[in-house]
Amino acid sequence: MMKQTRRQALTLALSLAAATVAGPLWAQSYPSKPITIVVAYPAGGDTDALVRLYAEKLQARIGQPVVIDNKPGASGVIGSSFVSKAPADGYTLLFAPSTFSIAQLVLKTGSGGYDVLNGFTPIIQTGTLPLALVSNAASGIKNFKDISASKSQSLTYASPGSGSPMHILGEMVNKATGLKLAHVPYKGVAPAINDVLGGHVPLTYITLGPVAPYLQGGKLTVLAIADSKRSPLAPNVPTFQELGVKDVEVTAWHGLFGPKGLPPEVVKTLNAHFNEIIKMPDVVARMETLGALPLGGTPETLAKTNASDFARFGRIIKELGIQAD
């Protein structure tokens, strides 16, 4: 009996030692093959442009290919669902905009079979993107006060889609001010901006990157920013709070997630790489042209942002009756 007990104890000790050694050795070998980053939206948007920028830098740092896989559809649910079911080995990741937190809340169809709060491993929140109210300069709307007349007029605003953060912001502003701006949803940022430029819709809620060329050319005007403070990307533009419109702060963001159960050492490795990538001068400059500001930090920052948006906008979406098409 004594020999058997000693033999069992020795076996257990050797197993634990092997596990302790194997863990760090396995982590040191990551990544040993190509990494795929899924984007749940079509190529060409700001989310896609940003992740391709990061992927190029990451690939150079790790010596492995980093492949972008666009899986659009259902406000991002299709791509998110795909990653939620992928092996938790660090080779299939999700780069998502803030729509990730709210997509399931606004869709009339199913949830995609994943848990937005507990079904993924947060890695890093790469940046934030201020949302803005923008007008067609030819409309004669030069500032937010000019819109007050719309209480007795019929004005419309464009958004990149029903249930988008921009749509939610528009309805929040309507409620806070008593305005009745009618929502005109589009299938993406580009068609929304094109119709505002064409004078078909006078206003849009949008991020700053896609409209930057038209701001410089004087075709569009930024009327207000939906952040808690003025944005360094548009320092001369007042916030809604400055304009007397309370509780309408909505900030878009991007973040990197993995499937649930991603090994801590993988998370640590990716988090460290991305924190350094978003500090590179050329990356910061490119992010600014796309309307984004670098954030970074620990995985907990992304986890808290995701949970906060899910809870806050869940209440707002229900209260305002917002749904996606």
Q: Give CA–CA dist 141/88, Å, rounded.
A: 51
pLDDT of residue 25: 47
Q: What would the pLDDT profile of 262-288 be if each residue is shown by its tens digit?
A: 999 999 999 999 999 999 999 999 999
pLDDT of residue 129: 96
Please, what is the Cα angle at 216 between 153 and 150, to 5 degrees? 5
Amino acid at 261: G
Q: Are the beta carbons of 176 and 316 closer than 8 angstroms?
A: no
List the one residue out of 203, 199, 196 whose CA is nearest residue 174: 203
Both tokens of residue 18? 């092997």
| Residue ranges of domains in the chain, CATH in brackets | 34-129+252-320 (3.40.190.150), 130-225 (3.40.190.10)
Both tokens of residue 22? 């194997």
Distances (CA, A) of 164 to 106, 107, 185, 255: 9, 11, 9, 17
pLDDT of residue 1: 45
Buried b (16+ CB within 10 A) or exposed e, 119-134: bbbbbbbbbbbbbbbb
pLDDT of residue 44: 83
pLDDT of residue 101: 95
Residues in the chain: 325
pLDDT of residue 195: 96
Beta bridge mates, 95: 256
pLDDT of residue 112: 76
Those residues whose C-beta lies under 8 Å from the C-beta of residue 290, and which sit 6 or more positions away, are 46, 49, 50, 209
List the one residue out of 201, 127, 218 whose CA is nearest residue 160: 201
pLDDT of residue 107: 86
Q: How many CB atoms lie within 10 A of CB 23?
A: 13
pLDDT of residue 113: 85
pLDDT of residue 2: 42
Which pLDDT tens digits describe the chain residue by residue (325 residues)? Answer: 444 555 554 554 555 554 444 444 445 689 999 999 999 988 888 899 999 999 999 999 999 999 999 999 888 999 999 999 999 999 999 999 999 999 999 987 666 789 999 999 999 999 999 999 999 999 999 999 999 776 656 899 999 988 999 999 999 999 999 999 999 999 888 899 999 999 999 999 999 999 999 998 899 999 999 999 999 999 999 999 999 999 999 999 999 999 999 999 999 999 999 999 999 999 999 999 999 999 999 999 999 999 999 999 999 999 999 988 6
pLDDT of residue 32: 96
**How many CA within 13 A on the CB side of residue 172?**
25
